[in-house]
Amino acid sequence: MNFVRNIFNSRSNKGGNFFIQIKHILGFKPLNMKFYNKAFTHRSMNIRDKEGTPINYERLEFVGDAMLGAVIASHLFNEVPQGDEGYLTKMRSKIVSRDHLNELGKELNLIDLVQSKIAKDNFGNNIHGNLFEALVGAIYLDRGYDYCERFIFNRVIIPHVDIQKLEGKVISYKSLLIEWCQKEKKTFNYNVYEDTGNDDTRHFSVKLSINNKIISKARATSKKKAEEKASKRAFFAFQTKISRAL
């Protein structure tokens, strides 16, 4: 336990006082710093408590995800009384999308607070959103629902949630395109293949066909990204028709 305490205490000497940094991000005083220490501890540190339970932010992500969903759902329910369940679900998904959570984490520079044995340059982009969720979970466990709600309003809803803009925001061009194809009874196919070429990084290419005609092509570092990029290009090719149908 002394080793764990030393790891946590040492972070106050790096990048300023950890308590002050957390207080500045929250906008109010944290009470139990153990939750915030855990929220910024990566699994690579391989720290465990006296029962052998890993100490890292992964379980806090689960709590933070639930709290974000609850507060955002309540806000949308009150702000859009005419919205049905499907509309509210879609709008909540846009607000708590992985891309948006990553943007929120970057905005707060949360990665600067992480304790990790992995170089920060080697983290994937999702680390930013994961930390944001973990922070929300820590706030809930430390200060309860009211403070957690206040933080989400100040950091998410007030600066970033514009109902009208969100209604027109697309969070997945692939899902939108598939929905349109199914509604219009069109066949579609994503032909994905590895296309590393001369790149050091592994790449994938995709050809998107609709009714057996190639509509768009794309290339990216993952199959998912390549498919989404091809879907976006196809969406703009059929934007008018898709907007009318959906």
For 50-110, the three-class secondary structure string (H helix, E strand, C coil) is CCCCECCCHHHHHHHHHHHHHHHHHHHHHHCCCCCHHHHHHHHHHHCCHHHHHHHHHHCCH
The secondary element (H helix, E strand) that includes residue 137 is helix 127-143
**Which member of 61, 133, 149, 228 is catalytic?**
133
Question: What backbone phi and psi angles, to 5 degrees, belong to 8?
Answer: -70, -40
For residue 188, give the 3-state DSSP assignment.
strand
- Whether 65 is a known active-site residue: answer yes
Which tokens sit at 240?
């008018």
On the CB side of 71, CA atoms within 13 Å amount to: 28
Question: What is the DSSP annotation of 9-51?
Answer: HHGGGSSS-HHHHHHHHHTS--S-HHHHHHHTB-GGG--B-TT
The secondary element (H helix, E strand) that includes residue 232 is helix 223-237
Beta bridge partners of 219: 205
**Which member of 49, 58, 61, 65 is catalytic?**
65
- Whether 179 is a known active-site residue: answer no
Q: What is the DSSP letter of 167?
A: H
Active-site residue set: 65, 133
